[in-house]
Amino acid sequence: MIVKSLSMPQGEVIGKEFWFPIRVYWEDTDAQGIVYFANYLKFAERARTEMLRYLGCCQQESLTKNKAGFVVKNCEIEYLAPAYLDDELQVSCSAVHIGGASVMLHQEIRRGAEVLTLVNVKAVYLDLTDKKPTRIPKETVQKLQSIM
């Protein structure tokens, strides 16, 4: 049996959006088999993490070498329709605006063509030593621009 390595990035870029597949498991749902509202944020976070990995941005290296990393400053979520146990979902992620120390991202969670959830996130690149925003490294900005 051949198993795809988890060290390989999951998902793919289509056009100017990164897409990440998610399956809804029992643990993601409430007693009615509907995805619990907070889990949509987890799905969005996983897609953002895989997007960075796909683009070649190593968060672990940034944390250890640069003592810096992205943290969510603001998040806006709109629930349009529920997801259910065993659904196969796709989570998109695209950069909307890149500032000196922050990036605005737009995400959609879909089941096929149906948009279930819209998520807008502002992530700040934070110096973890003094807990203050710092410039996003130029190479990271260039990689993020590829999904704008």
Active site residues: 30
The one-letter amino acid at 54:
Y
Q: What sections of the chain are H helices per DSSP?
A: 39-55, 59-61, 138-145
The one-letter amino acid at 143:
K
Alpha carbon distance 28, 20 (integer Å): 17
Nearest to 121 by CA among 48, 15, 38: 48
What is the dihedral sign for C-alpha 86, 19, 120, 131?
positive
**66, 125 Cβ separation under 8 angstroms:** no
